[in-house]
Structure 1
Amino acid sequence: MGLWIRTLWHLFFPMQLLTGLAEPAENLDFFLPGDYLLGGLFTLHANAKGTSHLTILQVPSCEEYEMKVLGYNLMQAMRFAVEEINNHSSLLPGVQLGYEIVDICYQTNNVQPVLYFLTQPDYFLPISKDYSYYIPRVVAVIGPDNSESTITVANFLSLFLLPQITYSANSDQLRNKRLYPAMLRTMPSATHHIEAMVQLMLHFHWNWIVVLMSNDDYGRDNSQLLRDRLARTNDICVAFQEVLPTPQANQFLTAAELKQLDSILLKLKQSTARVVVIFSPELVLHNFFHGALYWNVTDTVWIASESWSIDPVLHNLPGLQSTGTFLGITIQAVTIPGFSEFRLRPTEATPERQPTKNSSRATCNQECDACLNVTKTFSSILTLSGERVVYCVYSAVYAVAHALHNLLHCGRHHCTKKTVYPWQLLKEIRKVNFPLLSNQIFFDEQGDVPMRLDVVQWQWLRKQNPFQSVAFYFPMQQALRMVGNISWHTEDNTVPRSMCSKSCQQGQSKKSVGIHPCCFECIDCQPGTFLNQTADEYQCKSCPMSMWSNPRDTSCFRRKLAFLQWHEVPTIMVAMLAVLGFLSTLAILVIFWRNFQTPMVRSAGGPMCILMLVPLLLAFGMMPVYVGQPTVPTCICRQAFFTLCYSVCISCITVRSFQIVCVFKMASHLPRAYSFWVRYHGPYVFVVVITALKGVIIASNMLTTPINPMGHPDPEDPSVMILSCHPNYRNGLLFNTSMDLFLSMVGFIFAYLGKELPTNYNEAKFITLSMTFSFTSSVSLCTFMSVYNGVLVTIMDLLVTVLNFLAISLGYFGPKCYMILFYPERNTVAYFNSVIQGYTMRKSL
C-alpha cells in the first residue's frame, strides 16, 4: 500500500489546481444534491487521440471535441434512474440519491474526476494507513464506458474498495478480482461477445475472415481474445489482421496515416475474405468507412463489436449501406417506460443558478450546451433501436439503490440513515438479486451481470427499428439462437460466402494448403476407405477387413461373402465327376472283392488293391467338405484327410511299380533281398511308413500354422470377401503335395523301367499314365495357387483332387476291370503261365 500512497501523494500535490476545477456543478444535468451521491463517468465528447493530458497538468476542454450522442443518452439514463428512485419508488423511502457526473472525453479525462470523487467535501484526501472508515464524496461510481478508462479508474477506486459499476467496458482484464476487487459491470464480458461472433460465423459457415482493430487496449485485447478462441478450433481462419490509424480529434489523418488506410482498403478489396470483424471505437471508423466508399468496397459482411454496433452517427453516414451487410453484437434491448420523454426534456434550472459560458468551471467538463439539440436529431434512431446499453446504466443505478436499501435497513416508509463506508456498500452490491423490467439482476463470481446479447442488423430501407435483432446469445448456456431473417446485401438475397476453400463434398477429405487450416484441397476417399467428418476431416480411414466402401463413401458396408456353393456351374461339374468317381470306385471295389482270388486281381496287388480302393471311395464321398462356407473341420479335412488318402494311394502305386521291377528284373540278381522283402511284407511296411511320415508332416503343419477359415478380398472385385481356409492352408497344401510329387516321380521311374514286361503284368503304361497326370495336375495346382488368390482356387483344388483320384481309380483299376468283365478267359492261371513262358522264350532268343 505504501507505493500507492506515495503515488497518490504526488498526484494530490497539485490538488490546488483541481479544487478550483471540481466544485459542484451549476448545471443540473451534471449535479443533483442528495443524502448519498453517485459518481457518473460518461463520454459526452470523444477525443481518441488527445495527448494534452500527457504533457501538462490541465483538464482538457471536452467541448472542443466531437459530441458523442450515445454518451449523452447514457448519462440521461443515470439521471432518469436516480430521479425515478427518488420520486416513484419505495426502494429508499426518506432517502434522496444524488449524483455528480463528469465528461471523461473518452480517455483524456479520467484521473481528475476519480480524484474528485475520492476527496472529502473540503476537496482533501488525507494520507492514512487505514481507509476502512474513510468517507469519500460519492458512495459508488457508475462508468466509464470504455475498457481503458475503466481500468484507469478501477486502479484508484479498488484501493479504497469504492464500488464501481461499468455499463459498457467488456475487457476480460476486469474479471480479475485480485486486481480490481471493487469493479462490477452490468453486461457480459468480452469473452461472451467473442463467442457470440464465433457462433454467428459458424452458423453461416464463414471460415475466412479479416480482423481490423484500433490501436488501443480495446482493439488489441479483443482481437487477441478472438485469436485465442479461434485457436481452439480450426473452423475459422484469419486471412489478415490490420491496425486502423487513429485520427486526431478533428478526424484529420496525416499523409502516412492516409497511406496506411489506403493500404488496408486495397488489401481488403483484393482479399477473398468477405467477412470483416472490427474491434474499434466509432471515432476511428469514420475515416475508414469514407475510404471504403471511395474504394467501392462492396458485398462485405461487417461484424461490429459492442463499441459501435448501434452507433447512430455511423449509421447515418451517407451511402454506407452500399458497402454490404452490417451485423453487430450488443446488449439486449429493454424498453424503459418514460425514458424517451425524459431524455429530450430540457433541464430545469433556477435563474440564479443558470450556467454561464464565462464560469470558472467551464473546463470542468460538466457542460454540454449542444447535447440536447443534437440528441433530438437522433431521437427516432435512439428510440427505435431500444434502450440497450441504456438499460445497463439504469440497472447499475438500481443495483446501488438495492444495496443501500439492505444496508440502511429500509422498510416501506423509512430508512435508517447512517454513514455508509465503501467496503460495506460493495459487499451488499455483490449480494443483490432483484427483478428489473422482466430481467433478473445479479452479479456472478466475476462481478458480471449475465445479460442476454443480441445480434442486430443495420437497416436503412425500413422505417422501424434501424438495429433489428436477428439472433440472441445466452451467456449462461453459451448458445446462439437465430430469431429473424437477415436481408443480405447480395443478389437474390443469398448468404455471402467467405471461405478460403469451398466446402468439401461428401466423402472428400481435406488436404491443407499453406499455413491456414481453412485453406485446403478436397481429395476423394478411395475405395476401401471412408471419411468420418466428426472424428477427422483430414484423413480417410480404412475399412475393417470384413467391410468395404465405394469411392467417396462416409461409411463401410459388409463385403459380399464368396465361397464355393452348390448352385454354381463349376461346383456342379466337379460334383458330377466326384459322383462318377465314387460310383466307379465302388463298382471296382465290388468287382475286385468278388474276383479277389483270380490271377488278374492278385497280379494287380491283391489286398493292396483293397487298401487303395477304400481311401479312394472315402475321398470321393467327402467331396462336399469343399462346398459351402468353410469351417475349421472342413479346413482340417481339406488339408489332412484328402492328402492322407492320396498319399496312401500313391504310395501303394509306387510300391506296386517297384514290385513289378523286382519280380522280373531284380529277383534273380538279389534273391536274398527279395526273400527278405517278401518275408517281412515289404510293400505294407513301405505304405505304413509313408503314411506315418505323411501324418507327422500334416500334424506338424497344423500345429505350427493356424488352419481356421478367414476371408480375403477378391482381387477382381474388392467388395467381395472370399471365404476360404487360412492362407497358411495353401502353404501347408504345397508342403504336403511335395511328398506326393516325389512319390509320383518314383512310381513313374519304376513303371518306365518295367515297360517291356508281359502284357498281363505290364501295368507300367497305366501307372505311367496315372503318375504323369498326378504330377502334372499337382504342379499346375501349385502354379495356379501361387499366382491367383480368388474363389477359383477352391474350385481348382477340388477339381485336381477329384481328377487325381479318378486317374488312380479309372487309370489304374479301369483296364483290369475291363479284362475281368469282358475277357474272363484271360483271367486264368494257365493263360498267365503261357504269357510268361512266351515272354521268357523271346528274351532267350
Structure 2
Amino acid sequence: VHTQHLRSCRAREHSLVQQQVYQVSVKRGLADIPPVCHPLSWPPLQISYEASLEMLSLKRFYPSFLRTIPSDGQQVKAIALLLQHFRWTWVALVGSDNSYGRDGLNALYELLATSEVCVAYRGVIPVTKDASSPEFHKLIQILVDIRVNVTVVFSNRRNAQPFFEAVVQNNITGMVWVGSEDWSLAQTIWQVPGIRNIGSVIGISVEQAEPTLLKRLESWENEKERGVSGSAGSTGLVGENELSSSEGVQLNCTQHCPGCHLLAGTPDIYDIQASYNVYSAVYAVAHGLHDLLGCTSGVCSKGRVYPWQLLQKIKQVNFSLHKSQISFDANGNIRKGYNIIAWNWGGRSWAFDVVGAFTVNPDQLHIDQSKILWHTKDHQAPVSVCSWPCAAGEMRLQQNRHRCCFSCVACPAGTFLNRTVLYACQACGRDEWAPVGSETCFNRTVEFLSWADPLSCVLLIPTVLLLLLTAGLAALFARNASTPVVRSAGGKMCFLMLGTLACACSSIFFNFGEPTWLSCLVRFPLFTISFTVFLSCVATRCFQIVCIFKLSARWRALHEAWQRRGGPALFIAANTTAQARVVLECGAGSAPGETAAMLYNVLLSLGCFALSYAGKDLPADYNEAKCLTCSLLLHLACSAAVLCTRSAFRGRSAALTAVLGALGTLATLLGGYFLPKGFVVLLRPHLNTAERFQRAIRSYTRRRDD
C-alpha cells in the first residue's frame, strides 16, 4: 500500500484508527484482513496464501474469500494431464486422511473417469506414524498386487513421510510417484533413508517467485539487524517503488510487523513461497484501494470506503509483480499455474529439476522430457497399462469393470474401427467395403466385364453358338416330332428342356456390361430356375424309361397312376416351386441364397445320375447311361469349381467365373443328351424307324426273360 494512501486514511479516520496500519496475518490456512479506514463496518474479507481446498471456491459459502495460491482444482487438472501425457492409463491413487487428501483424491478420480486413465486402486494413507504398522503393510501390498507402475500420492508432508518410509521398508523399487504440491518439494521426505531406490518422483509445485525478489525478502532481517532501515518509530508499509528499485537502495522494513523475521530466514522453499504469496496478497489489496480511491490522477478520494466496494476492486486487479501477473478469476482464485518438477538423485544433496509447467486460461501442460532422468534400467519413461494397446483395426473386448483391461479382436470384413469408439466395430455403408481389421471403409469400385473387353468377345462367341445350336435342335426335333428318336428323347418334353436350356444360356448375357438393378436381379434366378426345370425333366424322363422296362410288370398300378394323374408334370412343378422359394426367400445376390440354390441343383443332378445309371442295361436307343452320365459328371465338376471359387473372386473375376461355369454346364448337358439324338435324326435316318426300335425292345425282353 502506498504511503500516501494510508496517510489519507489516517487523516480522515484519525480518531478511530490512531496509527493503525494494514497487515496480513501470516498463518497456515486463511489470512484475515483487518479493517482499513473504517474497521467497525468491515465484513470477513479474507485472502489466503496457503489454503488450496477447492471447497473454498464456492462463492455461496465463501463470498468474500480470495487466495494467492492456486486451488486444488487446478492441481488436479495438472496431475490428470500429466498422466495422460505419458500415457499412464493404469494408476493407483493414495492420499492423506484429511480434507486435503480426500477432496483431492475424489476430484482427481472423477476427472480421470472421463479420460482414458483407469484407477486401479484408491486408498487412504493410515494416520499412524509407524511405518511398520500392519495398516501400511496392507496398503503397500495392494499396490504390489494390482501391478501398477505409477502411484499418485495426494498428501500433505506429515502423512507422506511415514508412507514413503513404509515403501522403502517393503523394498518397492522402479515405480513412478506423482506428488502433490504439499510434499513434492519437502526435504524431510527426501531425507528418508533408502528413498533413492523407490524410483522416479514427479511432482507438482506452485510457480516460484522471481529469485531477485526472494533475495530481497531474505535481506529484510539482515538490513534490520544492521540498523540501516531508519527510525524504528516510523509508520507505513514497504512501498512498491522501494521494493522494485535497484540493489543499492535501502529497504524499509520498520513497519509494525512482528513476524517480519519469519520472512527473512528462509531455509525451506515452502516458507519462501508462502512469503511471496503474502507479499502478493498485500499488493492486491493495495491496488484495489488505489483503484477504489481514484488515486491514479494523483489525488485520492476522501469519500467513505465500503468493504463490498473494496472486495469488488480486489477481484478486478490485474498487475505485474516482479515479472508475475497477479489477477483473480470469478471464484477468487489467483490465475497462477504450477511447475512440474522431477527429483534429481544425481548429487548427495537434495535437488530437483523444473521439467515443465502447467498454465491456466487455457489449461495447458508443457513438459521437456529430455530434462527428466528416469530411474529405470533403460532410462526411459516407464509404462503403466493394464492391457497393451490393440493393433490397428482391432476392437477392445472389456475383461472386467475397468475399461483399460481388455483383449483385442480384429474387426470382421465389412466393418471398421472408429478410433473414438474403441469397444465396437461399426458397419460400413451400403456402397462401402472394408477388409478384416480395417480402420476405415473404402468406396466400392464397380468392376465388370465390359462388352468391349476382348475377353468378353471370346466368351460371347460360344454363348451365341450355344443358343443357335439349341434353336437348331428345337427346329430339327419339331420337324421330326413323330419319329421314334424324338419320342424316345421325351417327345413334347424335349421342347421344354430345350427352352429352359435357352433361357439358362440367355442369363449369361447379364454378366456383361455395367451391373444394373435389373441385371443383378434377373441373372442368377433365371439361370438357376431354368436349369432346375431342365434337370427335373431329365429325371422324369429317366424315371419313366426305368419304370417302363423294369417296374411296369411288377408295379403296373403304380406306373399307370403315375401316368394317369400327371406324375411328370407334378414332379417338375414341385421341384421348380421349391427352387423358386429357395431363391426368393434367401435372396438373389446373397452368398447363402446362391449357395443353397446351387446345392439344390446338385442334389437334382445326383438323382438324375442315379436314375440314368439304373438304366445302363436298357436297349441302346433308350440307354442314357453313357452320354448322360458323362455329361452329369462334367456338370457336377463345374458346379463344384464355382462353389469353391465364388468367395475368392470379386467384380470382373467373379463375372468371368460365372460365365465359364454356366457355359461348361450347359454345353456338356446339351451335347450329352440332345446332340446324339440330333445326329441320328439328321444323319442316320435309317436308324430312326419304328421297326428298329421294336426289334431292340423284343431283343431286350427275350434277354431279360432268359
Superposed pair shares fold, TM > 0.5? yes
| Matched residue type, 1:327 | I
Is residue 484–residue 693 contact of structure 2 (8 Å, CA) maintained in 1? no
| 1:482 Cα offset (Å) | 1.9
1:410 aligns with 295
Secondary structure of 2:341 counterpart: strand
- The unaligned stretches of length 5 or more in structure 1 are 1-81, 122-132, 140-159, 247-252, 355-364, 666-672, 674-681, 713-724, 757-761
Secondary structure of 1:308 counterpart: coil
2:64 aligns with 182
Shift in CA distance, 393/529, structure 1 to aligned 2, threshold 3 Å: farther
Is residue 417–residue 439 contact of structure 2 (8 Å, CA) maintained in 1? yes
Shift in CA distance, 582/542, structure 1 to aligned 2, threshold 3 Å: closer
Summarize deviations over 1:692-718 as a string: whole Å, max 9, x none: 958984997499536532346xxxxxx
Cα distance in 1, alignment partners of residues 173 and 569 from structure 2: 96
Secondary structure of 1:411 counterpart: helix
Cα distance in 1, alignment partners of residues 276 and 375 from structure 2: 34
Secondary structure of 1:469 counterpart: strand
2:673 aligns with 808
| 1:422 Cα offset (Å) | 2.1
| Matched residue type, 1:432 | V
Alignment of 1:331-410 (within 5 A): 331-335=206-210, 338-346=213-221, 347=224, 371=262, 374-375=265-266, 377=267, 391-410=276-295
Match of 1:259 among 115, 129, 133: 133
Shift in CA distance, 185/538, structure 1 to aligned 2, threshold 3 Å: same
Alignment of 1:35-434 (within 5 A): 82=1, 85-86=2-3, 98-104=21-27, 106=28, 117=34, 135=40, 160=43, 162-233=44-115, 235-239=117-121, 241-245=123-127, 253=129, 259=133, 263=137, 267=141, 270=144, 272-289=147-164, 297-311=172-186, 321=196, 323-335=198-210, 338-346=213-221, 347=224, 371=262, 374-375=265-266, 377=267, 391-434=276-319
| 2:370 paired with 1:485 | yes
Secondary structure of 2:295 counterpart: coil
Summarize deviations over 1:527-574 as a string: whole Å, max 9, x none: 759883734545677889985655x765678999999999xxxx9999
Shift in CA distance, 411/389, structure 1 to aligned 2, threshold 3 Å: same
Is residue 586–residue 617 contact of structure 1 (8 Å, CA) maintained in 2? no
Higher RCO, Cα 8 Å, sep 6+: 1
Match of 1:639 among 520, 528, 538: 528
| 1:408 Cα offset (Å) | 1.5
Cα distance in 2, alignment partners of residues 562 and 800 from structure 1: 25
| 1:190 Cα offset (Å) | 1.3
| 1:499 Cα offset (Å) | 2.4
Summarize deviations over 1:701-750 as a string: whole Å, max 9, x none: 499536532346xxxxxxxxxxxx74564487589x69x979997x999x
Cα distance in 2, alignment partners of residues 711 and 657 from structure 1: 37
Summarize deviations over 1:293-330 as a string: whole Å, max 9, x none: 56655434332212233445656778755544332223
User: RMSD of aligned C-alpha atoms?
Assistant: 6.1
Shift in CA distance, 688/600, structure 1 to aligned 2, threshold 3 Å: closer
Secondary structure of 2:61 counterpart: coil
| 1:478 Cα offset (Å) | 2.8
Cα distance in 2, alignment partners of residues 614 and 117 from structure 1: 113
Summarize deviations over 1:74-94 as a string: whole Å, max 9, x none: xxxxxxxx5xx449xxx8895
1:615 aligns with 499
Cα distance in 2, alignment partners of residues 291 and 500 from structure 1: 25
537-546 or 188-197, which deviates more: 537-546
Percent identity between the aligned chains?
20
| Matched residue type, 1:708 | A
Cα distance in 2, alignment partners of residues 607 and 303 from structure 1: 95
Cα distance in 1, alignment partners of residues 204 and 87 from structure 2: 18
Is residue 261–residue 288 contact of structure 1 (8 Å, CA) maintained in 2? no
Is residue 507–residue 527 contact of structure 2 (8 Å, CA) maintained in 1? no
Shift in CA distance, 744/587, structure 1 to aligned 2, threshold 3 Å: farther
Cα distance in 1, alignment partners of residues 568 and 140 from structure 2: 96
1:447 aligns with 332
| 1:243 Cα offset (Å) | 1.6
Cα distance in 2, alignment partners of residues 653 and 513 from structure 1: 62
| 1:396 Cα offset (Å) | 2.5
Summarize deviations over 1:643-691 as a string: whole Å, max 9, x none: 4566678889999999999xxx9xxxxxxx9xxxxxxxx99x9999789
Cα distance in 2, alignment partners of residues 744 and 584 from structure 1: 28
1:709 aligns with 589
| Matched residue type, 1:207 | T
Cα distance in 1, alignment partners of residues 34 and 472 from structure 2: 124
| 1:805 Cα offset (Å) | 2.7
Secondary structure of 1:624 counterpart: helix
- The unaligned stretches of length 5 or more in structure 2 are 11-19, 235-255, 554-559, 649-656
1:125 aligns with none
Cα distance in 2, alignment partners of residues 603 and 533 from structure 1: 67
Cα distance in 2, alignment partners of residues 610 and 301 from structure 1: 88
Cα distance in 2, alignment partners of residues 407 and 491 from structure 1: 57
Is residue 93–residue 122 contact of structure 2 (8 Å, CA) maintained in 1? yes
Cα distance in 2, alignment partners of residues 614 and 710 from structure 1: 29
Shift in CA distance, 698/343, structure 1 to aligned 2, threshold 3 Å: same
Cα distance in 2, alignment partners of residues 208 and 659 from structure 1: 83
Cα distance in 1, alignment partners of residues 623 and 157 from structure 2: 110
2:243 aligns with none
2:17 aligns with none
Secondary structure of 2:309 counterpart: helix
| 1:283 Cα offset (Å) | 3.7
Cα distance in 2, alignment partners of residues 827 and 261 from structure 1: 109
Cα distance in 1, alignment partners of residues 276 and 356 from structure 2: 19
Shift in CA distance, 177/231, structure 1 to aligned 2, threshold 3 Å: same
Summarize deviations over 1:187-223 as a string: whole Å, max 9, x none: 4321221111111112112234343433322122212
Cα distance in 1, alignment partners of residues 529 and 638 from structure 2: 17
| 1:448 Cα offset (Å) | 1.7
| Matched residue type, 1:709 | G
Cα distance in 1, alignment partners of residues 341 and 279 from structure 2: 21
Cα distance in 1, alignment partners of residues 339 and 468 from structure 2: 91
Shift in CA distance, 351/833, structure 1 to aligned 2, threshold 3 Å: closer
Secondary structure of 2:176 counterpart: strand
Is residue 279–residue 304 contact of structure 1 (8 Å, CA) maintained in 2? yes
* TM-score (normalizing by structure 2): 0.68
Cα distance in 2, alignment partners of residues 188 and 742 from structure 1: 90
Cα distance in 2, alignment partners of residues 743 and 285 from structure 1: 89
Alignment of 1:718-729 (within 5 A): 726=594, 729=597
The structure with the largest alpha-carbon Rg is 1
Is residue 163–residue 183 contact of structure 1 (8 Å, CA) maintained in 2? yes
Aligned length: 637
